[in-house]
Amino acid sequence: MKIIRLEDHNNLIFEKICEWNYNWWGIRDGKSYEEVRCNLEHSLNKDRLPQTYVALIDEEPAGMYQFAMFDDLDTRPDIYPWLINVYVDEKYRGKNVCRKLMNTVNENAKKANLQELYLYTKHVGLYEKFGWKFVEEVKTFKKDSPIERLYRLEIK
């Protein structure tokens, strides 16, 4: 398995992550496939945020994450940058893809000149394994998950 920073949208890897994100949050948030694709096209940066990283197994996308200046946590516009869209394809779950992705976050954040990252999630006990510190519970105003957990990672 290798983790790459994706910089090109003219390939099957990009099309697969568009499909994942559309099915995951695009439909939920009322976004068209074109909106999700456009958002992801503009996350393929080398020297600034947002940036997209993809786990590949035999050149097939298995999972991803992104660094971004904002997430959809409207109640906390005062904090940034964010780790967003941490995702592992269903057929690769349980095969250490998340672990390998998360083990590259600090190194890639350092290369991007970041000093800290934030994320929010429903998961308890997952991100702590990778050095993330719980900050507080936050209101999301989402019907399915009105309260989630805010985490911070100090980049070392």
CB atoms within 10 A of CB 66: 24
124 touches 144 (CB < 8 A): no
Residue 22 lies in a domain: yes
pLDDT at 55: 98
- Note the pTM of the prediction, 2 decimals: 0.94
Read off the pLDDT of residues 96-128 as tens digits, 9 standing for 90 and up.
999 999 999 999 999 999 999 999 999 999 999
Identify whether 133 is part of a domain: no
Note whether residue 131 is domain-resident.
no
Q: What's phi and psi for 54, nearest 5 deg?
A: -130, 135
**Residue 152 reports pLDDT greater than 90:** yes
Question: Which domain, by its residues, includes 72?
Answer: 2-112
Query: Where residue 22 sits, what CATH number does that domain have?
Result: 3.40.630.30
Q: Give tens-digit pLDDT for 3-22.
A: 999 999 989 999 999 999 99
The structural domain count of the chain equals 1
| Any domain includes 25 | yes
Does residue 74 form part of some domain? yes
Q: Quote the CA–CA distance of 44 and 39 in Å, as a whole number.
A: 10
**Residue 28 pLDDT level (bands cut at 50, 70, 90):** confident
Distance CA 121, CA 111 (A): 25
Per-residue pLDDT, averaged over 122-142, amounts to 94
